[in-house]
Amino acid sequence: MPAPVLFHHPSSLEHDTGGHPENARRIVAIERALDERDWLGWDVRQSPAAPRAAIASVHAPQHIDRIEAFCRRGGGMIDMDTIVSPGSFEAALHAAGGCVALVDALMGGSADAPVVGASLHRPPGHHAEPAQAMGFCLFDNIAVGAQHALDARGARRVLIFDWDVHHGNGTNAIFHARDDVLFCSIHQSPLYPGTGPASDVGSGPGEGFTVNLPVPAGSGDDVFLSHVAHVVAPLALAYEPDLILLSAGYDAHADDPLASCLVTDSGFAEMAALMRACAAELGVPLGIVLEGGYDLGALSRSLVATLEAVGAGERAPLPAVGVHPLALRAQERLAASGWPALA
Ligand SMILES: [Zn+2]
């Protein structure tokens, strides 16, 4: 099996947010942990900047212009949570470009293409709305990657699974009325940004293709793993995507300062192994895209555990996962809404 591919770029360090929890130390911690393990033997590449057209495929062109102009003028606060500096626009172009390059590497058509990869950058992306930066996010990197897979790499359907503890309102909004991207999110509720109730199932032709799985504060490995094993993975198999992308945030970790869930390092590894098994069963590639995660130790350990689990391919042991009552309720809801029986 070809080595998995990992995209990163030094511009991630030049997005200066001051004393904000989403700061360059996150990337430094991740890269130090990976470097200590020889980058797990992955094929490490520098991300290109995303072509403007790729970003404009999911964002208003004026949004891109506004971010660029604001950064050029020296930056500042876009809102209470979202701060940019002169280097932020470049960082954001490469964060989106990492996802485009990841999709190209995974779906480029060559016989020795890797089946697993990762795009590790900041700023994160999943809160960025079509025409509005918010929640530390400027462009929705994973959405740019998914759209590129559909437009340029022959994908007919893409699954985006978001396990960041916050609801990915940006990705949710971008693909809300579409059935060619199935967006599935586990997130703590109530919590910022307040979106993503179970009743939000998409709209128009996209009805049923947005699957929100809110969980209460205090949810740990059992709740998250049960949702992955008994809801997300069966949905993925029923949907038959040509690509699976993971919005991998690590702020559902027990040590994270911004939320109140209790997922452990090994819980993330087990969720990753389940999604890797799912991709293998479908015979499609799996891409990991970094979102949040604000405790540097938890972030770097859990990310390394994720990459080890997906890099181990089909050899990764799969956890035995019981059906949690919350996952059972989600199954019943989805079955009632027309998805094939998920049990
Ligand atoms: Zn988050």
Name residues whose C-beta falls within 8 Å of residue 285's C-beta, 6 or more positions apart in sequence. Answer: 106, 107, 113, 114, 115, 116, 117, 243, 244, 279
Question: Is residue 79 scored above 70 in pLDDT?
Answer: yes
Distance CA 208, CA 206 (A): 6
pLDDT in tens, 149-164: 999 999 999 999 999 9
Residue 171 class from Cβ within 10 Å (0-12 exposed, 13-18 middle, 19+ buried)?
Answer: buried
User: How remote is the CA of residue 108 from the centroid of ligand 1, in Å?
Assistant: 30
Question: Is residue 68 scored above 80 in pLDDT?
Answer: yes
pLDDT at 109: 85
**Cβ(33)–Cβ(300) below 8 Å:** yes
User: How remote is the CA of residue 41 from the centroid of ligand 1, in Å?
Assistant: 28
Name residues whose C-beta falls within 8 Å of residue 334's C-beta, 6 or more positions apart in sequence. Answer: 211, 231, 235, 342
pLDDT at 1: 79
pLDDT at 342: 59
Catalytic residue among 9, 127, 187, 253: 127
pLDDT in tens, 14-30: 999 998 999 999 999 99
DSSP 19-30: T-SSSTHHHHHH
pLDDT in tens, 264-322: 999 999 999 999 999 999 999 999 999 999 999 999 999 999 999 999 877 777 889 99
Question: Is residue 343 scored above 60 in pLDDT?
Answer: no
Average pLDDT over residues 99-125: 96
Task: Provide the percentage of residues in the chain whose pLDDT is more than 70.
Answer: 99
User: How remote is the CA of residue 30 from the centroid of ligand 1, in Å?
Assistant: 16
User: How remote is the CA of residue 335 from the centroid of ligand 1, in Å?
Assistant: 29
DSSP 43-103: EEEEPPPPPHHHHHTTS-HHHHHHHHHHHHTT-EESSSS-EE-TTHHHHHHHHHHHHHHHH
Residues around ion ligand 1, judged by CB within 5 A, are 164, 166, 249, 251, 292
Question: Is residue 115 scored above 90 in pLDDT?
Answer: yes
Residue closest to 172 by CA, chosen among 148, 194, 149: 194
Q: Give φ, ψ of 130 to 5 degrees.
A: -50, -35
User: How remote is the CA of residue 22 from the centroid of ligand 1, in Å?
Assistant: 10
User: How remote is the CA of residue 249 from the centroid of ligand 1, in Å?
Assistant: 6
Strands 76-77 and 83-84: antiparallel
Residue closest to 124 by CA, chosen among 87, 80, 168: 168
Question: Is residue 340 scored above 70 in pLDDT?
Answer: no
DSSP structural state of residue 122: S
pLDDT in tens, 197-228: 999 999 999 999 999 999 999 999 999 999 99
User: How remote is the CA of residue 168 from the centroid of ligand 1, in Å?
Assistant: 8
Name residues whose C-beta falls within 8 Å of residue 62's C-beta, 6 or more positions apart in sequence. Answer: 131
Mean pLDDT, the chain, integer: 96
User: How remote is the CA of residue 2 from the centroid of ligand 1, in Å?
Assistant: 31
94 labelled catalytic: no
- Angle, CA of 228, 130 and 271, to the nearest 5°: 15
User: How remote is the CA of residue 201 from the centroid of ligand 1, in Å?
Assistant: 21
pLDDT at 341: 55
Please tell me the pTM assigned to this model. Answer: 0.98
Task: Provide the percentage of residues in the chain whose pLDDT is more than 90.
Answer: 93
User: How remote is the CA of residue 191 from the centroid of ligand 1, in Å?
Assistant: 10
User: How remote is the CA of residue 324 from the centroid of ligand 1, in Å?
Assistant: 23
Q: Quickly count helices (H) and strands (E) in the chain.
A: 11, 10
